[in-house]
Structure 1
Amino acid sequence: MNNEARAMTEATQENWQTLLKAMRVPPDPAELSGAKAALERAEAARAEASKQYEAARSTHAATPAGQAPAISHSQLDALAEALRATEVEERKAAEGKAAIEREHRERVRDQLNDVMGRYTESLTRRFGQEVDDLKTFLALSVTLQSKAKAAGFRLDEPIIVMVPHILGHLNAAQACFAAAKPKRGKA
């Protein structure tokens, strides 16, 4: 049996701590805090541009007929264009933050899948043959029970009655391990 398989699967406090450390989710990357700050600045700039535009629009709309407007159409258009520019910057900042978060999640997912894949492989290497041997032994027990019953003997050993159920659970557990095995190298 290989040492990594034994080390990853031996039920000792040190080995469990090692596995738990390997399963640790790393903190958010530093670039994410920069992206969050950029998004907050872009949101604040858009809010300020929106406030200025709405104030100018209200002032322009409140100008009595026949009087010269306090805010010209070209000034109002310039404020509207500035508002659109801040909305574009806000969207770019939000997309940048989302991209960094997505890349971080993918890296963490791949890291955790790698650790769990190695752990599952270690379990299989370490206990796979023992489980197969146990299944063989249990199947022989079922055969023994059948032959004893056919010969008119009743076996009083309680484990004999539970063997078919135990076999079913072992088969189900092996099927779960096989189905849940992480696919290495796939996103």
Structure 2
Amino acid sequence: ALLPGVFASIIAYAVFGAVFGYQPLFAIPGGYHFHQPIQLVWFAVIGLLAGGLGLLYSKSFYGIVRLSHRLPFSKKLRPALGGLLVGLMALGLPEVLGTGYGWVQKGLGTEMLHTPLLIILALPLARILATGLSIGTGGSGGVFGPGMVIGAFTGLAVWRVLEPFAPGVGHDPAPFVIVGMMAV
């Protein structure tokens, strides 16, 4: 069953690319040129944080799954409860809704520079909780895409904290967002 799935994916991607063109999922405004070796230290910091967040992501997801199985509700009502809780979260942090790819694109540029630091710091944790609540209660979806968004928010948070004072950080959040996406 794996081999037919691989062939179907290759053919589907080829047809999609032929019709719509091959474009990157995320555009990096102005490109990126590596010229500050000290950034590797900051990228390692992102890697350490992302490792911890990845562990938290996995543990919290499976914890929510176990908790939802203990609820006295019908199995059909569990996803509704998860959706309700995510909706309530979204009243304060709308970034937890949807795929999150639009927010990642904003983080790659300058559009989130005026977002309060406290919100930027809360976004990775909020996205972990929202993903756990929506999928862990029985809703449909995957965990790879949200992991990319969690990583992007982590990289953006590290950049926002370091940018005012740390050497070699630079004024462009894109490298930090990209490293965060790769690390989680």
More helix by share: 1
Query: Highest Rg: 1 or 2?
Result: 1
TM-score (norm 2): 0.27
TM-score (norm 1): 0.27
